Chains A and B, each alone.
Chain A
Amino acid sequence: MKPLFTLKDVSLYYGESQVLKNISLTIDKGKVTSIIGPSGAGKSTILRTLNRMNDRIPGFQLSGEVFFDDENLYNNGTKVHLLRQNVGMVFQKPCIFPKSIYDNVLFGVRHLYSRRKHEFSQIVEETLKAVSLWDEVKDKLNQSALELSQGQQQRLSIARALAVEPRVLLMDEPTSSLDPTSTCAIEELVGRLSGNLTIVIVTHKLDQAKKIADDVVFICEGKLIEHGRSENIFSNPSQQQTKDYLKWHLCKC
């Protein structure tokens, strides 16, 4: 099957400092791909390359090519906001607007489908059900979303991303600020959503990657060290650096 994303020899700079070094990588459709690596390795940077969220960081420069299907993302022709409607993103810390739960779910949709107003309440119900939040909030949709717990807010922000009906969901350490119960809920959710949706998730919890990922990408100091099936990487890594990282949680690259 043809990969969904193809990175060809991608290097990324912020001013003088090179953050990604000659990365070539493919990401498969319908799979859960987990990016692991030590802090500062460039995990978030790779992820944000896929929906062009790095573009406006001062000194940003990219060489190489990034394809989404057949579209070269860093060609001048790409409409960035249309790309992001196809490639949704969930941040580490949920960013909830000071609005009702209902309006937060629709934040990305309202301006898109102004003709489909009658579908709004259905969209809200479906996406909140998809993230298992519906039963908890269905009686208080008009209350401020800021009153929800951190874990509920993160599930709400996933629902908000899903409401736009993206083909890909990028998640940057979505559970790192959550309690164990909420973490489990989101891990279960990722498993359920994959298939129709391609998911790329950054994590530095190895057990999480083991649990939910089909493919694992290990990067270190901006270099891709190893990429493969999850079971292969965790049971039988081919690179010494990967072995060291899995065992000691640190690496010399």
Chain B
Amino acid sequence: MWPLGRWRPGVAFFISSFLISISATGIIFIFLIVESFPIFQHEGLGFLSGSEWYPGEVYGALPMIYGTGIVTFIAVSFALPLALGSAVITSEVLSRPTRLVIKMMMELLAGIPGVVYGLLGITLLTTAVKNTFNLIDGNSFFTAGILLSIMILPTVMTLSEDALRSVPKEYRDQALALGLNRSETIFHAVLPGAIKGIAGAVLLGIGRAMGETISVMLVIGSLDRIPQPFYNIFTTGQTITSKLGREGAEALGVGYHWNALAGLGLILFLAVMGITFIGNSIVGPLSGRGINTKRKQKKR
């Protein structure tokens, strides 16, 4: 049936899926470059530094770049301490059954689609933010940042927990045997061994936060502006993704407007690719080794 030998189908599947993913990434990249090229010709670097965006006149991407940056920053600032704290407690304090339940819940949460978070965001979160901070409008950078922090929390938490558990049990025993108490053991023996894995988890979380579209679109208010002063995060704004989500369909293929949106896409693509790449190269080899150590320990 397989004239070239029995191993052929497996190799063929491997090669074809590898080629498909490589070429898809390549095609997207080339597509974005080609489609956005005219806007860089037209606006020059002003496309990156301009803060005015009026279709048909001027295209400045800075408010969206700012929005993506600040919203991601808020998301990580809130998610990281929570995720790390709960990862430490789950890995170092809780019993095995409890830990497994929590891990399962986290992995479930990580799989909930963004739009569901978005709906919860517009109903509950915007009102809560509005009332808490006495705002006229509950849609803001802050709201989007908080919503994103809730969305990336499970991923960051569960990957950080994996990193903590991959630290060999011997390190803990050795630190305890030297008379360190539980928290000193965590700080001096466990966290240093897990720091790379945690950094990787955070970078993957950042990548996810930067790319999330629909939920951000629903709570950010969609106004292309950098707030005055720039740290006033309780105002409405725009991110790259929310901009693309709103204007993508109407601008489809139409002149500079379309080219400018493709330019935004290119910026986001490069940023997310870069961060995911760094994240994977930090996490990948390390977590692989960690899983092995973990298995060995469970057997004993």
Contacts and interface: CB of A to CB of B under 8 A. Distances in A.
Contacts, number: 56
A81 B181 contact: yes
A95 B176 contact: no
Majority SS of interface residues in chain A? loop
A53 B180 contact: no
Given A97-B189, A107-B188, A84 B178 contact: yes
Contacts of A157: 174
What's the interface size class on B, roughly? 10 to 19
A108 interface: yes
A95 B178 contact: no
B107 interface: no
Contact of B175 (A85, A93, A107): A107
Nearest to B187: A111
Contacts of B250: none
Contacts of B184: 81, 111
B178 A164 contact: yes
B56 interface: no
Nearest to B170: A95
A58 B300 CA distance: 12
Contacts of A80: 181
A160 B174 CA distance: 10
A91 B179 contact: no
Contact of A108 (B96, B171, B180): B180
A164 B173 contact: no
Given A97-B189, A107-B188, A82 B173 contact: no
Contacts of A112: 179
Interface in B156-187: 168, 170-171, 173-181, 184
A89 B173 CA distance: 10
From B96, B180, B181, B188, residue with most partner A Cβ within 10 Å? B180
A142 B171 CA distance: 20
Contacts of B189: 97
A174 interface: no
Nearest to A83: B179
Interface string A54-92: 000010000000000000000000001110110011010
A81 B179 contact: yes
B282 to A, nearest CB: 16
B179 A108 contact: yes
A112 B171 CA distance: 18
**Closest 8 interchain pairs by CB?**
A108-B178, A85-B179, A95-B174, A89-B177, A81-B181, A84-B179, A95-B170, A81-B179
